[in-house]
């Protein structure tokens, strides 16, 4: 403490070399003598001109910096990688998407820890920015507030509401003739009418809500329409609050505790959120040094948490209806009897205090526990001889996909192979389409497989063929019965890598089972005949990622647990 105030790590001993270098640089860019002794706050801006997800963030960064200055601190804007699932997935069949999350965390570490700044305001947007920023917060453990920068306004196509999820889905119908290129072009031209993340309850909005449930955003701030008055109010409040947090020394590891992760899991289950939140929440726990099994929480809590919200693509409601009804805070209010209410968030208040002060909830959009939309689990983890460490099945409010299926395997090792097989009619009703080798190491980076789901739907096979894969799926839309992110992945000895055409596979979602009906002796011979896997060679980021990434059930973090 100095003069009654906490000593800032950004303030160096006068006369030292670091002090002199910092003084020269910062005075040279216009800071004052007084500024040098103030808290230094990073405004983490994952901005890019590549996609609408990020196109408004520079303006938000300016408003955040102004609020921080007004609160008596000095803001420094820090840029990171800005991956958009819609754009960055074009290269290498989507393999850059998941690794970009860890790149964001590393970008933040280099800039913020290298400069020894005192706190962070993180501007969260598209799918991987929120977990990447939260991973960095847990790793660096300096005061942090996450600000959700909002979902995009959608449009109208031939008199009907349309959004990005619709474009994503119907793109799979063109190849099978159910939609023309001209119709898809017309739809895509009017689906997005402003900046922000995808409007539905995909990974971006799911992770924004999870961040609030964790206590890492200001209460009542998610989901939010991009550039709305509510979003701007939160930006300014976060700029003020981060300065107080630095003085209070309330850090992410004080917030990211086991009870907070259980609260986040409950919210995701209650809204049928994105399956991608599972690995992201586990990665955040690893980086925060929190000993919690997120996958285990989903298994344990799924039967207890009913579906309270049905937002597109999982139900008929829209995200703006969810926001108006109370958003994540409204969901937390309804879930209160099931939650850890003594967890303290970045607001400084406990969840119990936050819920007690909340406005009334719109109960037709966010149902109470005694009047849910449905009681089946929103996300089911299936295990068995084909997935000893689990595979993930997403279930909508209607839960109208088939629950059990048995059939012969038809095996492919690349997304384009599977798509070509669907187009040619090689994939037949009753088949189990196996897409193996697309896990974090096998891709490397984890290939996107949702295009295969949409192609099956477009071919009229959505209820007649199931997909089993160790690849990742979009958090936006899934159709039919799909078992994704099978673990262990096929490329590193998982049973999925031993499946051959004609092998019988059996899935029973209600029993939470997925099994490969092949004798152990046969599998042992196949395993013995497999060539030993060699480390991925090369200097590319994906090659480095493949050599360092941990299994999915450990969050697919790089290099194991944080210190």
CATH code for the domain in which residue 122 is found: 3.40.50.2300
User: What's the domain range around 450?
Assistant: 380-531
Beta strand ranges found along 149-282 (DSSP E)? 155-157, 160-162
Instruction: Give the pLDDT confidence score for residue 173 in this predicted structure.
Output: 84
Residues 345 and 389 in one domain: no
Check if 340 is active-site: no
Residues 441 and 346 in one domain: no
Instruction: Give the pLDDT confidence score for residue 474 in this predicted structure.
Output: 80
457 close to 170: Cβ distance less than 8 angstroms? no
Residues 325 and 201 in one domain: yes
Instruction: Give the pLDDT confidence score for residue 165 in this predicted structure.
Output: 84
Residues 386 and 486 in one domain: yes
367 close to 331: Cβ distance less than 8 angstroms? no
Q: How far apart are CA 453 and CA 448, in angstroms?
A: 10
Sequence-distant (≥ 6) Cβ neighbours of residue 270 within 8 angstroms:
305, 306, 307, 308, 309, 331, 334, 335, 378
Q: Any bridge partners for residue 434, and if so which?
A: 411, 468
Catalytic member of 48, 125, 154, 474: 474
Instruction: Give the pLDDT confidence score for residue 92 in this predicted structure.
Output: 86
Instruction: Give the pLDDT confidence score for residue 560 in this predicted structure.
Output: 46
Residues 121 and 217 in one domain: yes
Task: Write the CATH number for 413.
Answer: 3.50.30.80
Residues 121 and 242 in one domain: yes
Could you tell me the two tokens for 194? 């402003």
Q: Any bridge partners for residue 42, and if so which?
A: 76, 120
Residue 212 belongs to a domain: yes
Residue 366 belongs to a domain: no
Longest dimension (CA), the chain: 77
Instruction: Give the pLDDT confidence score for residue 63 in this predicted structure.
Output: 98
Q: Tell which of 356, 372, 393 closes a domain.
A: 356
Residue 33 belongs to a domain: no
Residue 538 belongs to a domain: no
Residue 275 belongs to a domain: yes
User: What Cα–Cα distance (Å) separates residue 157 from each residue in 168, 181, 211, 301, 315?
Assistant: 14, 15, 33, 39, 20
Instruction: Give the pLDDT confidence score for residue 448 in this predicted structure.
Output: 87
- Look up the pTM and report it: 0.96
Residues 299 and 384 in one domain: no
Which helix (DSSP H) or strand (DSSP E) does residue 370 occupy?
A: none
Instruction: Give the pLDDT confidence score for residue 397 in this predicted structure.
Output: 84
Residue 179 belongs to a domain: no
Q: Tell which of 340, 356, 372 closes a domain.
A: 356
Residues 319 and 390 in one domain: no
Residue 211 belongs to a domain: yes
Q: Tell which of 315, 341, 356 closes a domain.
A: 356
Could you tell me the two tokens for 38? 């103030």
Residues 341 and 390 in one domain: no
Rounded to 10°, the helix 276-287/258-271 angle is 170
Burial of 252 (0-12, 13-18, 19+ CB in 10 A): buried
Which of helix, strand or coil describes residue 25?
helix
The domain tally of the chain equals 2
Residues 223 and 99 in one domain: yes
Residues 386 and 351 in one domain: no
Residue 93 belongs to a domain: yes
Residues 402 and 484 in one domain: yes
**Tens of pLDDT, residue by residue, the chain (563 residues):** 445 566 899 999 999 999 999 999 999 999 999 999 999 999 999 999 999 999 999 999 999 999 999 999 999 999 999 999 889 988 888 899 999 999 999 999 999 999 999 999 999 999 999 999 999 999 999 999 999 999 999 999 999 999 998 898 888 788 778 899 999 999 999 999 999 999 999 999 999 999 999 999 999 999 999 999 999 999 999 999 999 999 999 999 999 999 999 999 999 999 999 999 999 999 999 999 999 999 999 999 999 999 999 998 888 999 999 999 999 999 999 999 999 999 999 999 999 999 999 999 999 999 999 999 999 999 999 999 999 999 999 988 888 888 999 999 999 999 999 999 999 999 999 999 999 999 999 999 998 898 899 899 889 999 999 999 999 988 765 678 999 999 999 999 999 999 999 999 999 999 999 999 999 999 999 999 988 777 788 999 999 999 999 999 999 999 844 33
The dihedral over CA atoms of 287, 292, 296, 297, expressed in degrees to the nearest 10, equals -100
């Amino acid at each position: 403490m100095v003069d009654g105030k906490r000593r800032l790590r950004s303030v160096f001993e006068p006369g030292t070399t670091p002090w002199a270098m910092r003084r020269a640089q910062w005075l040279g860019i216009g800071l004052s003598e007084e500024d040098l002794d103030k808290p230094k706050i990073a405004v983490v801006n994952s901005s890019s001109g590549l996609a609408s997800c990020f196109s408004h963030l520079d303006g938000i960064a300016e408003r955040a910096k102004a609020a921080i200055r007004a609160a008596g601190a000095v803001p420094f804007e820090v840029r990171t990688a800005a991956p958009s699932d819609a754009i960055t997935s074009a290269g290498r069949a989507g393999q850059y998407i998941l690794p970009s999350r860890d790149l964001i965390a590393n970008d933040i570490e280099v800039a913020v820890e290298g400069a020894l700044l005192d706190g962070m305001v993180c501007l969260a947007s598209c799918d991987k920015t929120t977990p990447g920023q939260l991973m960095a917060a847990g790793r660096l453990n300096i005061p942090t507030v996450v600000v959700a920068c909002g979902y995009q306004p959608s449009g109208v196509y031939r008199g009907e509401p349309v959004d990005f999820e619709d474009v994503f889905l119907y793109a799979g119908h063109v190849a099978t003739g159910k939609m023309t290129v001209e119709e898809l072009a017309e739809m895509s031209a009017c689906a997005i009418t402003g900046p922000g993340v995808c409007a539905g309850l995909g990974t971006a909005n799911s992770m924004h809500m999870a961040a609030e449930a964790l206590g890492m955003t200001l209460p009542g701030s998610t989901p939010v329409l991009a550039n709305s008055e509510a979003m701007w109010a939160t930006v300014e409040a976060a700029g003020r609050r981060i300065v107080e947090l630095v003085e209070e020394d309330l850090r992410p590891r004080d917030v990211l505790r086991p009870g907070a992760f259980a609260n986040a899991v409950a919210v995701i289950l209650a809204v049928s959120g994105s399956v991608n939140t599972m690995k992201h929440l586990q990665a955040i726990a690893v980086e925060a040094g929190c000993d919690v099994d997120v996958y285990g929480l989903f298994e344990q809590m799924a039967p207890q948490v009913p579906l309270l919200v049905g937002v597109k693509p999982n139900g008929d409601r829209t995200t703006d209806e969810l926001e108006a009804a109370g958003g994540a805070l409204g969901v937390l209010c309804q879930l209160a009897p099931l939650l850890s209410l003594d967890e303290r968030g970045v607001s400084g208040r406990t969840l119990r205090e936050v819920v007690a002060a909340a406005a009334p909830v719109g109960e037709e959009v966010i149902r109470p526990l005694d009047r849910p939309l449905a009681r089946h689990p929103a996300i089911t983890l299936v295990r068995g001889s084909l997935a000893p460490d689990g595979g993930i099945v997403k279930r909508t409010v209607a839960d109208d996909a088939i629950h059990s299926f048995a059939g012969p395997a038809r095996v492919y090792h690349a997304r384009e192979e599977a798509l070509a097989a669907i187009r040619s009619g090689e994939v037949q009703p009753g088949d189990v389409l196996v897409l193996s080798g697309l896990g974090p190491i096998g891709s490397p980076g984890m290939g996107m497989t949702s295009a295969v789901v949409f192609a099956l739907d477009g071919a009229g096979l959505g209820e007649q063929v199931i997909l089993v894969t160790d690849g990742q799926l979009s958090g936006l839309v899934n159709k039919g019965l799909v078992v994704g992110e099978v673990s262990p992945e096929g490329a590193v000895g998982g049973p999925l890598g031993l499946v051959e055409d004609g092998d019988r596979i059996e899935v029973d979602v209600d029993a939470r089972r997925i099994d490969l009906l092949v004798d152990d002796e046969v599998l042992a011979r196949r395993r013995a005949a497999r060539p030993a896997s060699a480390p991925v060679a090369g200097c590319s980021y994906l090659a480095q990622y493949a050599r360092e990434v941990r299994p999915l059930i450990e969050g697919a973090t790089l290099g194991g647990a944080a210190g």
